[in-house]
Structure 1
Amino acid sequence: MNSGVPRTLAVGRVKFFRRHRGEVNSCAFSPNGQMLLTASDDGYLYGWETQSGQQLWRLGGHTGPVKFCRFSPDGRLFASTSHDCTIRLWDVAGAKCLRVLKGHQRSVETVSFSPDSRQLASGGWDKRVMLWEVQSGQMLRLLVGHHDSIQSSDFSPSADCLATGSWDSTVRIWDLRSGPPAAVFHQKLEGHRGNISCVCYSASGLLVKVWDCNTGRCIETLKGILDVAHTCAFTPDGKLLVSGASDQA
């Protein structure tokens, strides 16, 4: 992976989605790229047609700012989390809420689907990670170990492990291969000096700050960001990595 200065990219055909009435906290593309979700401090979840920029729906139900949103890998569902301590599961076809997941004691900051779309992981300011069965809404596991807010989570491509990133400056890797309700704490990845806002696996199982999750060894520290890094994502083939930060780059 090349950590040198990237080439300048030309940016054009920019679309603006301007109907939010508060800060936009999260956005997510559908697996086919045809829809965009945005979650706002105004308490609503918005759906947009990617190509035209047309607003498809504005969904209420949460009683606080909507913090995060994500589509399921099969494209049939999406999830939203909120300061109201709940997770909502929504049907894409009807844009309706299927169920409300309750159990967190403080704001829920992150949610992620397993690769087969059957399980959901959530985390937030109560320092706990919860695993849910999507079909029933039943909580399967409670993972405790972080010492500060959990801001990000991601399943490994094989779904054997779950990575969680926290403001305690650590990433924890949980082994999910044991049966519920047990889960074995597998790795604690240390080396960050600030809050961890985003974790994501590459297709080959690498994690950013780039880690080998089997050994816990930091493979690469990517430099060039001048301020707090808030988000990152791999391309599906794992060859490219994009990051976003407060330095506006």
Structure 2
Amino acid sequence: MWKNPSEYFAAATVKYFERHKGEVNSCAISPDCKLILTCSDDSRIHLWDAKSGSLQCKVTGHTGPVKSCCFSPDCSLFASSSHDCTVRIWKVDTAECLHVLKDHSKCVETVCFSPDSVYLLSAGWDRFAILWNVQHGQHLKTFVGHQDAIQCSAFSKNGSYIATGSWDYTVRVWSLQNDGMDRILKGHKGNVSCLCFSVSGMLASGSWDKSIRVWNPRTGSLIFLLKGHTGWLRSMSFSRDGILLASAGHDKMVKLWDCGHGKCIKSLRAMIDVVHACTFSAEGTLLLTGATGFTRINGK
């Protein structure tokens, strides 16, 4: 039965994870909800036990701020991207670095796995998005077209499309099926800073213009224009069922949106500083947010 979105966070518990010595730029919950991954301007990646909150491992190797991190959907790997111009693929169980990917010429702002864990996408200040084979660390394809730095990226849930958001104020949707469905989505009046796909295929983009746009990526049409944040958008995440969209940013707020009606149903004063990252857990009952120096979980 469809659930009233406001019931998701009717009774919240909060847990904090504090160890980083710089801004937490990205965070992720493993698909099995056992681990939490955070990365920071302190050049470190931390792996945490989600239940106990204990720090399991400090992962080192990058020589500059770590800008993005994510788990593979099969839970066996995680990836990170850095200001040091590299992308690294790591084993979850040992934190061993399997591949160092070096084809970017400038800071790599974003990295994401395909739904089947076979491919990895990375992009950054060099204006290129690169598709990699995860097993071999092989450069498969370069996507070219943005006129400025790429700050965010996402795979569609069915793996057919990728999306990239840029400082050129546009979102580009690239088809991986060579079916001519590539799109340029225009409308934002500021840098596009975050992207996410819903299970139903909607694409949400957040911007420094303080707005969220929800698109049909196949047609390029705008479904909702969501306004309410008073600062730049930094991160967004759809719940597993696609009913909720969480957004966070420079106004120190996390907002929950009903994606059936395009309405804000709850505003959470989640942090005392800029919220740099937010993500739902795979089953949708936890929301993870990250700010300068610490990470926090809201959930039932």
1:235 aligns with 2:239: yes
CA distance in 1, matches of 2:25, 2:109: 10
Would the alpha carbon gap of residues 191 and 207 (structure 1) be closer, same or farther in structure 2, given more than 3 Å must change? same
Contact 2:81 2:88 in 1 (8 A): yes
Contact 1:176 1:184 in 2 (8 A): no
3-state SS of 1:199 partner: strand
Question: Which residue in the other structure is 1:210 paired with?
Answer: 214
Would the alpha carbon gap of residues 184 and 108 (structure 1) be closer, same or farther in structure 2, given more than 3 Å must change? farther
3-state SS of 2:197 partner: coil
Contact 1:153 1:163 in 2 (8 A): yes
Contact 1:47 1:58 in 2 (8 A): yes
The C-alpha deviation readout for 1:123-160, integer Å capped at 9, x for no partner, is 00111000000000000001110111111111112211
AA paired with 2:38? T
Q: How far has the Cα of 1:15 moved from its partner? A: 2.2
1:107 aligns with 2:107: yes
Question: Which residue in the other structure is 1:129 paired with?
Answer: 129
Contact 2:181 2:218 in 1 (8 A): no
3-state SS of 1:16 partner: strand
CA distance in 2, matches of 1:11, 1:44: 33
Question: Which residue in the other structure is 2:78 paired with?
Answer: 78
Q: How far has the Cα of 1:74 moved from its partner? A: 0.8
AA paired with 1:237? D
3-state SS of 1:14 partner: strand
CA distance in 2, matches of 1:81, 1:11: 35
1:195 aligns with 2:183: no
CA distance in 2, matches of 1:20, 1:226: 27
3-state SS of 2:52 partner: coil
AA paired with 1:44? R
The C-alpha deviation readout for 1:147-205, integer Å capped at 9, x for no partner, is 11111111112211111111111100011113xxxx95710000111111111110011
Equivalent of 2:248, from 238, 244, 247?
Answer: 244
Would the alpha carbon gap of residues 8 and 48 (structure 1) be closer, same or farther in structure 2, given more than 3 Å must change? closer
> Which consecutive unaligned segments of at least 5 residues does structure 2 have?
1-5, 205-212, 254-300
Question: Which residue in the other structure is 1:33 paired with?
Answer: 33
TM-score by length of 2: 0.77
Question: Which residue in the other structure is 2:147 paired with?
Answer: 147
CA distance in 2, matches of 1:44, 1:155: 25
CA distance in 2, matches of 1:149, 1:207: 20
Question: Which residue in the other structure is 2:23 paired with?
Answer: 23
AA paired with 2:136? S
Question: Which residue in the other structure is 1:171 paired with?
Answer: 171
> Which consecutive unaligned segments of at least 5 residues does structure 1 have?
1-5
Identity of aligned residues (%): 51
Aligned 1:53-72 pairs, distance under 5 A: 53-72=53-72
Q: How far has the Cα of 1:96 moved from its partner? A: 1.1
4+ residue stretches of structure 1 with deviation over 6 A? none
TM-score by length of 1: 0.92
Q: How far has the Cα of 1:88 moved from its partner? A: 0.5
3-state SS of 2:196 partner: coil
3-state SS of 1:168 partner: coil
Q: How far has the Cα of 1:7 moved from its partner? A: 9.0
Higher relative contact order (CA 8 A, sep 6+): 2
